[in-house]
């Protein structure tokens, strides 16, 4: 399945790593089974984002980052998706960002609106970490670029061609050289079709 996917798309966001810490053997197998140009985004383990809420989790974070380096140049981004009940705590965020290895490409998806302000955006900019620009039926994130790369999660299942064209225009208009864009791939399985149409619109 992965090889089939990798022949058609340039990158994938892995949800498996949210539930289980990836082993170097597993990641090496993924890397070996995909083309050189293909990249992986790994979703951070829930032990970091949901259980610990970014606090007192340095050992788990180090293990995750260490395993991720197995992918080498095929590592795209580490996605940290916070739970919707986790309200803004800029001090906790800044302390956590300091733990990320230098040069790590990371993105943060905030699912409580209290996070979406200039203090948080500045904290991300200071560490060259991306705000995950998420679009769903429940919540939309401002289009705010906080790093020299951009990260999008387009989660609505009702996109029309006009919507896809609009997102393509937004991405093309951004300054970063690299933009990582992922559509939802559960339930109805519409994501691959949306992704094909998005690529065609770029």
> Domains in the chain and their CATH numbers?
2-154+171-183 (3.20.20.410)
Mean pLDDT computed over 25-42: 98
Mean pLDDT computed over 55-68: 98
CA distance 100 to 87: 21
Mean pLDDT computed over 106-110: 99
pTM above 0.85, yes or no: yes
Shortest CA distance to 106 belongs to which of 60, 197, 41?
A: 41
Show the tokens assigned to 5.
């996917």
119-155 pLDDT tens trace: 999 999 999 999 999 998 888 899 999 999 999 999 9
pLDDT of residue 187 exceeding 80, the answer is: no
pLDDT of residue 188 exceeding 80, the answer is: no
Q: Given this model, what pLDDT does residue 165 score?
A: 98
Host H or E run for residue 178 = strand 178-183
Q: Given this model, what pLDDT does residue 177 score?
A: 78
CA distance 73 to 69: 8
CA distance 197 to 202: 9
4-28 pLDDT tens trace: 999 999 999 999 999 999 999 999 9
């Amino acid at each position: 399945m992965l090889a089939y996917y990798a022949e058609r798309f340039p990158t994938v966001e892995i949800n498996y790593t949210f539930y289980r810490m990836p082993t170097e053997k597993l990641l090496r197998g993924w890397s070996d089974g995909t083309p050189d140009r293909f990249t992986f985004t790994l979703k951070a383990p829930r032990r970091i984002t949901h259980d610990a809420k970014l606090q007192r989790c340095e050992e788990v974070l180090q293990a995750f980052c260490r395993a991720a380096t197995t992918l080498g140049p095929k590592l795209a981004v580490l996605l940290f998706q916070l739970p919707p009940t986790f309200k803004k705590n800029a001090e906790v965020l800044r302390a956590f960002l300091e733990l990320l290895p230098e040069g790590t490409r990371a993105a943060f998806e905030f699912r409580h609106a209290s996070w979406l302000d200039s203090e948080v955006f500045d904290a991300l900019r200071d560490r060259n970490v991306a705000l995950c620009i998420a679009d769903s039926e429940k919540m939309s994130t401002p289009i705010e670029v906080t790093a020299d790369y951009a990260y999008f999660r387009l989660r609505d299942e009702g996109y029309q061609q006009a919507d896809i064209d609009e997102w393509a225009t937004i991405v093309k208009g951004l300054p970063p050289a690299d933009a990582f864009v992922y559509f939802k791939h559960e339930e109805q399985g519409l994501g691959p079709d949306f992704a094909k149409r998005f690529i065609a619109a770029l």
